[in-house]
Amino acid sequence: MHVGKSLFVQVMEFVPWRSFTRIVQRYRGTAGVRTLSCTEQFRARAFAQMIQR
């Protein structure tokens, strides 16, 4: 059984989330969002990029 963090989690630890949140707020990235927040969408796109989909 695997013990530890997955590669994706390790990569996401390098993202400066405070800066990301500040930029989203500055440019009102959450205006009109219905389902996925900007953070969730970023994570989904980053995961898709990692698995080349």
Q: Flag whether 2 is in a domain.
A: no
pLDDT value at position 2? 74
Domain-embedded: residue 27:
yes
Contact 12, 46 (CB under 8 A): yes
**Is the distance from CB of 20 to CB of 42 less than 8 angstroms?**
yes
pLDDT band at 49 (very low <50, low <70, confident <90, very high): very high
Domains: count for the chain: 1
pTM of the model: 0.81
Q: Which domain holds residue 32?
A: 7-50
Instruction: Return the percentage of the chain with pLDDT > 70, whole number.
Output: 98
